[in-house]
Amino acid sequence: MDDVAHVYTHTHRVRYRECDPMSVVYHTHYVDYFEMARTEAMRDLGLAYRTLEDDGIIMPVINVSVQYHAPAYYDDLLAIEAHFGQMPTVRVPIDYVVKRSDDDRRIASGHTDLCFMDADTRRPIRLPDRVHRAFASVLPT
């Protein structure tokens, strides 16, 4: 997570259905939290995922990892940060940090790599032009 060039923060209120009998957020939901932050970060760059799909482009997740640092509780407000570093080429690497808004406590961190695919052929493609331009507006090339 060196060389972070662009950070987008999405705020999420923890739902009751996301908490388990230990009264903490069940661990699998953090992968959904990452998706929320990523989607809103892309929208903020003018890359609403629905418009990519309309252009015949999909962005599958290649891998994901999560490290759990501290529990989050029901009704906590979480700040989910998506960190973008170098300019993506074939893969889009994104780091994530989840903090509790109240006390700034680091709850979880993680990483995903995404790629671009043609929705019809389901084959990898290089970074589409409009995606390249959008990332180039915030990342060093």
- The residue within the footprint of a copy of itself, chosen from 2, 21, 103, 120 (CB under 8 A), is 21
- The residue within the footprint of a copy of itself, chosen from 11, 28, 55, 118 (CB under 8 A), is 28
* CB of 141 vs a copy of itself, minimal distance in Å: 28
How many angstroms separate the CA atoms of 96 and 118, rounded? 26
* Interacting positions 32-51 with a copy of itself (CB under 8 A): 32, 35-36, 39, 48-50
| Residue 90 is a binding residue for a copy of itself (CB under 8 A) | no
| Residue 119 is a binding residue for a copy of itself (CB under 8 A) | yes
Catalytic residues: 20
3-state SS, one letter per residue, for the chain: CCCCCEEEEEEEECCHHHECCCCEECCCHHHHHHHHHHHHHHHHCCCCHHHHHHCCEECCEEEEEEEECCCCECCCEEEEEEEECCCCCCEEEEEEEEEECCCCCEEEEEEEEEEEEECCCCCEECCCHHHHHHHHCCCCC
Stretch that binds a copy of itself, among 19-27, 77-85, 93-101, 132-140 (CB under 8 A): 19-27
| Residue 16 is a binding residue for a copy of itself (CB under 8 A) | yes
Token output for 139: 């990342």
The footprint of a copy of itself (CB under 8 A) covers 15-17, 19-23, 26-28, 31-32, 35-36, 39, 48-50, 53, 58, 60-68, 71, 74-75, 119, 122
